[in-house]
A and B are shown apart, each in its own frame.
Chain A
């Protein structure tokens, strides 16, 4: 059985007229030990999906429907107390901005101990020991000396390592990483991704890696979900998606990567922009920007269709039909 099963998740925000579904019928599953990439451009609903999984969508946003089954429990049915016991213990999250996600008034050691104080009965000395071990594990040099340092005394890369240590100190089964490397420079990005991948292999935890950076998912993920305008348009193993994307949007994303092997005048872009919430097309949401769309595409929203093992795309004219 999958560790996480999301079914028809719908998260809405009130709009001027009615409401706007930032996440609209998202379904996917994630196995233990698997790394799933969630890719999409800004505003596609990636982060809202992540916050919905933690049930931390900030008001006035609200989860309007669907189901999130995690480790055999229906998260949407839990009360606030039970949900708090899952956050940070079973399911953790790391954020984009490592500096602002750390409390400037507490030492980093204290912040790594916080989940232990919240979820376990460990004494201060034991918690300190475990926090120190965790800081060592995320490769913070000279961790025992750094333990009482404050966030502003650390570099960006080290701060993100501290964030990872906080998220993993209770050994969660699922780590949600929301653009964990976006705020870091490129060399540090690679180090952090390596670290995440190593920790994930060691602990066999599942990981949901949210990013707009295809390079990041290529390096870390086993499988990729591509999101567009609040829906998943394609899900495929990494190699398949890079070699033979089936949805025209995924294909567009792949084409708009800078390619160092060919000399091009300018980057390829996908024409147009994500439709505004109040003027969502009734049929396929990508149809207005799609080079292959015809009248059938405007008739109804296509569901995910099976193309090959583990490869699904929400398109009635998928680009590859080798299945």
Chain B
């Protein structure tokens, strides 16, 4: 009884609504950062170094979320940081979606040699820790937004390739694909018209969840000092800076960590809600 009410509480509509609100809110914040941020995120004000947030005894409304070691306004830095996190997260998720979907469909539809080469490569890539690969590449080519997108995008393709490969392979055996061939349709036509449209719902869910993964990865790389070099405001950089002053100024690490958690949580909730929405079994239940 209790269990049921609780699962009702977090039913898919609420998940989608809450997730979408968070995602839209963060995206708006990122887009409007120059207009709504109270300060320049890079302007140092040494008089106001390590100012605590407004709810602490020493805080004041001048810097709502406090300042960092150089007196830069934390709220402004968080707002600007969201732009990078979101841009890198979305772009790299898109890049790997395109790569993985094309390769996965090709392997699933063509089979044979295509399947062997693509899928065995994907297996090998999956066995290799993504973050380690990213560290290797970034260490070699240096950290910039474009490099980050490339590295994360390339290191994420197998997730899509595996899902799309399996779906395509099962679709390929369906008689309507054979029927389309018997009408004289070419492989390209069949992939574009009959196979891809069936993959879109699943692709949407996987891509949404992958954006959250990519944001986390970007943060991890920045935290390790392999993202964009300081003083660029990224959430990972801010977390790394906050780590050094965890005792003196805990709010720096706490607030940037909280920002990451909220965004990833929101995206995951949206993705899971969408997945349930698309799954006919869970749709019928409510």
Asked whether B186 is an interface residue with its Cβ less than 8 Å from the other chain, the reply is yes
In the complex formed, the residue of A with least CB distance to B200 is A105
Asked whether A95 is an interface residue with its Cβ less than 8 Å from the other chain, the reply is yes
Mark each residue of chain B from 160 to 199: 1 if its CB lies under 8 Å from any CB of chain A, else 0. 0000000000000011101111111110010000100110
Beyond the given A105-B197, A118-B183, please list 16 additional residue pairs across the A-B interface where CB-CB is below 8 A. Answer: A56-B182, A84-B184, A84-B186, A88-B182, A95-B175, A95-B179, A101-B175, A101-B178, A102-B179, A103-B176, A103-B180, A103-B194, A114-B180, A115-B184, A118-B189, A119-B184
Q: Decide if B185 touches A118 in the complex (CB within 8 Å).
A: yes
A contact residues around B178 at 8 Å (CB): 56, 58, 95, 101
Q: A56-103: which residues lie under 8 A (CB-CB) from chain B?
A: 56, 58-59, 84-89, 92-93, 95, 97, 100-103
Q: Decide if B175 touches A114 in the complex (CB within 8 Å).
A: no
Q: A219-235: which residues lie under 8 A (CB-CB) from chain B?
A: none
Q: Decide if A88 touches B184 in the complex (CB within 8 Å).
A: yes
* 21 A–B contacts from the bound complex (CB under 8 Å): A54-B182, A56-B178, A56-B181, A56-B182, A58-B178, A85-B184, A88-B183, A88-B184, A92-B182, A92-B183, A93-B179, A100-B176, A102-B176, A102-B179, A103-B180, A105-B198, A114-B185, A118-B184, A166-B179, A167-B182, A167-B183
Asked whether B231 is an interface residue with its Cβ less than 8 Å from the other chain, the reply is no
A contact residues around B184 at 8 Å (CB): 84-89, 115, 118-119
Asked whether B129 is an interface residue with its Cβ less than 8 Å from the other chain, the reply is no
> Considering the chains assembled together, what is the distance between the CA atoms of A135 and B16 in angstroms?
42
Task: Pick the contact of A101: B176, B185, B189, B197 (CB < 8 A).
Answer: B176
In the complex formed, the residue of A with least CB distance to B186 is A84
B contact residues around A95 at 8 Å (CB): 175, 178-179
Q: Decide if B182 touches A87 in the complex (CB within 8 Å).
A: yes
Asked whether B111 is an interface residue with its Cβ less than 8 Å from the other chain, the reply is yes
CB of B194 to closest CB in A, whole Å: 6
Q: Using a Cβ–Cβ cut-off of 8 Å, how many residues does chain B contribute to the interface with A?
A: 18
Given contacts A59-B111, A103-B194, A105-B198, contact A114 B176 (CB under 8 A): no
A contact residues around B174 at 8 Å (CB): 100
In the complex formed, the residue of B with least CB distance to A151 is B176
> Considering the chains assembled together, what is the distance between the CA atoms of A114 and B174 in angstroms?
18
Task: Pick the contact of A93: B182, B185, B194, B197 (CB < 8 A).
Answer: B182
A contact residues around B111 at 8 Å (CB): 59
> Considering the chains assembled together, what is the distance between the CA atoms of A86 and B183 in angstroms?
9
In the complex formed, the residue of A with least CB distance to B179 is A101
Mark each residue of chain B from 47 to 82: 1 if its CB lies under 8 Å from any CB of chain A, else 0. 000000000000000000000000000000000000
> Considering the chains assembled together, what is the distance between the CA atoms of A115 and B228 in angstroms?
53
A contact residues around B186 at 8 Å (CB): 84
Residues of B within 8 A of A (CB): 111-112, 174-176, 178-186, 189, 194, 197-198
- Give 3 closest A-B pairs by Cβ, nearest first: A88-B183, A88-B184, A87-B184
A contact residues around B194 at 8 Å (CB): 103
Most buried by A among B178, B181, B183: B183
B contact residues around A104 at 8 Å (CB): 176
A contact residues around B175 at 8 Å (CB): 95, 97, 100-101
A contact residues around B197 at 8 Å (CB): 105
In the complex formed, the residue of B with least CB distance to A87 is B184
Q: Decide if B176 touches A166 in the complex (CB within 8 Å).
A: no
Q: A280-314: which residues lie under 8 A (CB-CB) from chain B?
A: none
Q: Decide if A166 touches B183 in the complex (CB within 8 Å).
A: yes
> Considering the chains assembled together, what is the distance between the CA atoms of A148 and B24 in angstroms?
35
CB of A174 to closest CB in B, whole Å: 12
> Considering the chains assembled together, what is the distance between the CA atoms of A307 and B194 in angstroms?
50
CB of B50 to closest CB in A, whole Å: 59
Q: Decide if B182 touches A59 in the complex (CB within 8 Å).
A: no
> Considering the chains assembled together, what is the distance between the CA atoms of A119 and B180 in angstroms?
13
B contact residues around A101 at 8 Å (CB): 175-176, 178-179
> Considering the chains assembled together, what is the distance between the CA atoms of A54 and B185 in angstroms?
13
In the complex formed, the residue of A with least CB distance to B176 is A103
> Considering the chains assembled together, what is the distance between the CA atoms of A84 and B111 in angstroms?
20
Q: Decide if A115 touches B183 in the complex (CB within 8 Å).
A: yes
B contact residues around A58 at 8 Å (CB): 178
CB of A79 to closest CB in B, whole Å: 12
B contact residues around A100 at 8 Å (CB): 174-176
B contact residues around A103 at 8 Å (CB): 176, 180, 194
In the complex formed, the residue of B with least CB distance to A91 is B182
Q: Decide if B176 touches A87 in the complex (CB within 8 Å).
A: no
A contact residues around B182 at 8 Å (CB): 54, 56, 87-88, 92-93, 167
> Considering the chains assembled together, what is the distance between the CA atoms of A88 and B174 in angstroms?
18
> Considering the chains assembled together, what is the distance between the CA atoms of A268 and B112 in angstroms?
46
B contact residues around A87 at 8 Å (CB): 181-184
Q: A9-57: which residues lie under 8 A (CB-CB) from chain B?
A: 54, 56
Q: Decide if B183 touches A59 in the complex (CB within 8 Å).
A: no
> Considering the chains assembled together, what is the distance between the CA atoms of A102 and B180 in angstroms?
9
CB of A194 to closest CB in B, whole Å: 23
> Considering the chains assembled together, what is the distance between the CA atoms of A103 and B182 in angstroms?
14
Most buried by A among B112, B180, B181, B182: B182
In the complex formed, the residue of B with least CB distance to A166 is B183
B contact residues around A163 at 8 Å (CB): 179
> Considering the chains assembled together, what is the distance between the CA atoms of A208 and B180 in angstroms?
19
Q: Decide if A84 touches B179 in the complex (CB within 8 Å).
A: no
Q: Decide if B112 touches A59 in the complex (CB within 8 Å).
A: yes
> Considering the chains assembled together, what is the distance between the CA atoms of A93 and B174 in angstroms?
16
> Considering the chains assembled together, what is the distance between the CA atoms of A249 and B176 in angstroms?
35
